[in-house]
Amino acid sequence: MDSAPRTPVTAVIVVAAGSGQRLGYGMPKAKVPLGGDSILTHALRGVAAAGVARQICVAIPPGDPELHALCAAFEQELKGERGRTPGLGDGVQVPVVTIVDGGASRADSVRAALAALLPDTEVVMVHDAARALTPEAVFHRVSHALAAGALAVIPVLPVVDTVKTVEPTTGDGAAIAPELVTGTAPRETLRAVQTPQGFELATLKRAHEAAGGFDAGQAAAVTDDAMLVELLGVPVYAVRGASQSLKITTPLDLILAEGLLEGPLGARWVEG
């Protein structure tokens, strides 16, 4: 008898409405070229290839015809030519693609996408387009934890650097250095958090509704969805992420991502 839990009906929200200023390309990060395609196209293909999504809901900057066209082209690719979408072989479900206008903050973009999910959606993953090379295995680990009953699950990696807290120096210290170290975090309990972050849909909706009353400072401090769920007191579980899931943020990240796609080191980076 097969005792594997049923996979819940899953939507993947891809947030791609950021400005990408730190990358220095003068255009939204989602459009920036990577290995001959855009960052967003790589991200969308990765989601589709994982085969977990019944719907992919993409949040893009409002009124951006180029990103709209990129999403539409991806949808055609899915519908028309399975062979062109890497990993989308027989047996992988072809997801519905929905495009929404993102908001001023990442959380606003997530809320816009949540409002556009198909009615019978049971679980949702929220994924940064900037993590364009996330391996399928990470989607599967998140999906399995949700199917096993987790209400919230995030992919993480151990932290390799020692992490300290600091505050700006004042008085005599200001002449010595800009910051004063105030403490050292215990590294063995720290994890660097990635996406896709998975949630039971009702739990994530409740978390975002609770955040609706935040003031500007509180809203700015929200850097992922799991934070909001933690504030509800709901347990958040962690599964193993992957180095390839790096968030393409700086020019150096883009060089790494290009190297992962086509460089001689590529194969050595592949993790389970």
Give the contact letters, 33-72, x = binds to ligand C5P (CB under 6 A), - = no. --------------------------x-------------
67: left (phi over 0), alpha (psi -120 to 50) or beta: alpha
Cβ 100 to ligand C5P shortest distance, Å = 10
If the CB atoms of residues 30 and 57 are measured against ligand C5P, the closer one turns out to be 30
If the CB atoms of residues 19 and 165 are measured against ligand C5P, the closer one turns out to be 19
If the CB atoms of residues 59 and 152 are measured against ligand C5P, the closer one turns out to be 59
| Contacts of ligand C5P in 6-25 (CB under 6 A) | 15-18
Task: Confirm or reject binding of residue 116 to ligand C5P (CB under 6 A).
Answer: no
Q: Where are the beta strands (DSSP E) in 16-87?
A: 33-34, 37-38, 55-60
Which span (62-70, 125-133, 154-162, 171-179) binds ligand C5P, by CB under 6 A?
125-133
Q: How far apart are CA 89 and CA 117, in angstroms?
A: 25
Considering only residues 34, 50, 130, 142, which one is a binding residue for ligand C5P as defined by CB under 6 A?
Answer: 130
Tokens of 235: 């347990």
The residue assigned the tokens 């085969």 is 51
The CB density around residue 149, as the number of other CB atoms within 10 Å, is: 9
Q: How far apart are CA 257 and CA 33, in angstroms?
A: 11
The residue assigned the tokens 């996406």 is 195
Cβ 268 to ligand C5P shortest distance, Å = 26
Question: ∠63-65-71 over CA atoms, to 5°?
Answer: 110
Which span (86-94, 124-132, 147-155, 227-235) binds ligand C5P, by CB under 6 A?
124-132
